[in-house]
Amino acid sequence: MVPAVVLIAVQAFVVSQLGFRLGRRVSLRFRQRTERAAGLALGLLGTWLVLQQVLK
C-alpha cells in the first residue's frame, strides 16, 4: 500500500511541475480552453467513479 501511495505522489508532483512549466508558455486564449477541458475531464472522471460504486 505504501509504495503505491508514494508512486502516486511522485507522479502527481512530476505532472504538476510539467503543467506549471507548460502553463507559463501557453497564451491566455489556450489557457481558458485547457481549463475548461480539464474541468470537463475531471467531471466525467468523478461521474464514472460514482457510477462504478453505485452499480456494484
pLDDT per residue as tens digits for the range 15-55: 999 988 887 777 777 878 888 999 999 999 999 999 999 99
Which residue type, as a one-letter code, is found at position 36? R
For residue 46, the surrounding DSSP H or E stretch is helix 28-55
Which pLDDT does position 31 carry in this prediction?
77
pTM summary value: 0.53
Which pLDDT does position 16 carry in this prediction?
93
d(CA 9, CA 11): 5
Per the structure, the count of domains in the chain is 1
List Cα–Cα distances, 42 to 6, 25, 37, 45, in angstroms: 22, 23, 9, 5
| Domain region containing 14 | 2-55
